[in-house]
A and B are shown apart, each in its own frame.
Chain A
Amino acid sequence: MIGLVQRVGAWFFAVAEVVGGLTLFTGQVARAALRPRLDGVETWRNLYRVGVKSLPIVAITALFAGAITVLQVGSYVVKLRAYEVVGWGFGFSVFREIGPLLIGLMFSGRVGANNTAELGTMTVTEQVDALRALAIDPIDYLVMPRVLAMLVMMALLTVIGDVFAILGGVVTAWGLIGVDPYVFWNSFSEYVGLADFLNGLAKSTVFGLLIGLVSCGFGLGVRGGAPGVGRAVNASVVASAVGIFVVDYFMTYLLQ
């Protein structure tokens, strides 16, 4: 019994340490954001690396997410002959939920993990100390461009992902359950509004900010050499994924 209490207590303190550390780190980033001193080259490099290089994987994910959504509802649509609501059901779920959520998780796995690994390696090889020794604030030079790039690109990639999801949905609805693209589009455009699109966009922007802060926080907090980098990458991906679901829950509730 005492052992169980000790384990629960240790787990509680470990979680509190991570949450506390990330909160303090977020405060530092927020303070830096009040007097932004962005490095242009580093910002463009990150926008390219985070955005352009993620495009293929986001496009493929969104294409299949759209197709799978239609496939899931396909049998019910045929059974109920409710062809005219496919576009609405698809658009509502993809724009508001599936799109931002799946793209956020993919983004966290690809960009967030990569970012933690890069910053973690820089930390253990004293490159971050070298920056500070050169009178450069790592928050300004390393963190701000990355967080900004993730925030902006996550939103842009969600817009692009929505387009690919619609494409996947239309093609699947037409090819596998016989819904004419015109009927699909009519239902989609009639019932799915700007609010649904903006709802998803707001979520994805917050997810991008969350992934940026978590991945940078874990990267700069690495201790213990190469094994420490591995642990930080693992923890960063898990924390981002959990954070995405928790934030999604609250945003869904608030934006209803």
Chain B
Amino acid sequence: MIRVEGLCHAFEGVPVLRDVSLQVPTGGTLGLIGPGGAGKSLVLKAICGLLRPDSGRVWVGADEVTALGERALMAVRGRIGMIFQNYALFDALTVGENVAFPLMRLGTVPAEAVQARVAARLAQVHLPGIEHLLPSELSGGMKKRVCLARATIHAPPILLCDDPTAGLDPVTTGRIFTLLKALQADQGATVIIVSHEVAALAPICDRLVMLRGGAVVFDGPAAEGARAADPEVRAFVDQRPVFEVER
């Protein structure tokens, strides 16, 4: 289970997270939505321990992430796979080396089995035989799928996806969400997905949480979001252009 309680954070005096609380049960899938700059990525970074919030607490399973030092956090991060908004693939390494990276570092899989595992995972994300390419030789959609392969190759029980479909065409977007759902079902992982593609996201999530101005403005099933009192929540969930929203 992932539990976030009363998360607050400010950058140079400007509040970016205001009392954010949410919860994802083990094996559950949560969609985190909201306008740009709402603090969605920061919530993921706080869960992973990459951001030390000014106040509030975060639990990943029994571990209170916000109370752990950098060394102790390593053990928690070993259970998390994370997809970054801007790919964050290692430029100096090939696709194969990028995807193999978590396995090589964790040392949980024999070295001779790593290549086969990498090939299988790349085939699963519909990118077979590109191990030798460098990230700079890939398109945006391919990079996202390589990120997905890297984040999931060690079968982490928790998966944090920061806008895994940003800037992608609808077909690739659908393909990535299908892959995420398949991987979640396959591995039974607890998943949090940040995305603006609510129409594609909602069907694979148990619940949606919407942030606006760093605060939670909606937390519930997608169907409830479509009937929410807040017009911006309805617009987000229905994917209607904002000029149609009555204020």
Contacts and interface: CB of A to CB of B under 8 A. Distances in A.
B82 A135 contact: no
A194 interface: no
Interface stretch (A13-21, A53-61, A124-132, A147-155): A124-132
B14 interface: no
B91 interface: yes
B48 A133 contact: yes
A137 B74 contact: yes
Contacts of B74: 135-137
B45 A129 contact: yes
A132 B75 contact: no
Contacts of B45: 129
Contacts of A121: 91
Interface residues of A, number: 13
Contacts of B101: 134
Interface in B50-107: 50, 70, 74-75, 77-78, 80, 82, 84-91, 101-102, 105-106
A125 B77 contact: no
B86 A125 contact: yes
Chain B residues touching A, range: 20 to 34
A135 B88 CA distance: 15
B75 A135 contact: yes
A127 B50 contact: no
B90 A130 contact: yes
B84 A135 contact: no
Interface string B11-47: 0000000000000000000000000000000000100
A221 to B, nearest CB: 16
Given A135-B75, A137-B70, A129 B105 contact: no
B88 A127 contact: yes
A133 to B, nearest CB: 4
A133 B105 contact: no
A135 B77 contact: yes
Contact of A133 (B70, B82, B87, B90): B82
B105 A134 contact: yes
Nearest to B75: A135
26 contacts: A121-B91, A125-B86, A125-B88, A126-B85, A127-B88, A127-B89, A127-B90, A127-B91, A129-B45, A129-B84, A129-B88, A130-B89, A132-B48, A132-B50, A132-B77, A133-B48, A133-B50, A133-B77, A133-B80, A133-B82, A134-B77, A134-B82, A134-B101, A136-B74, A137-B70, A137-B74
Interface of A: 121-122, 125-127, 129-130, 132-137
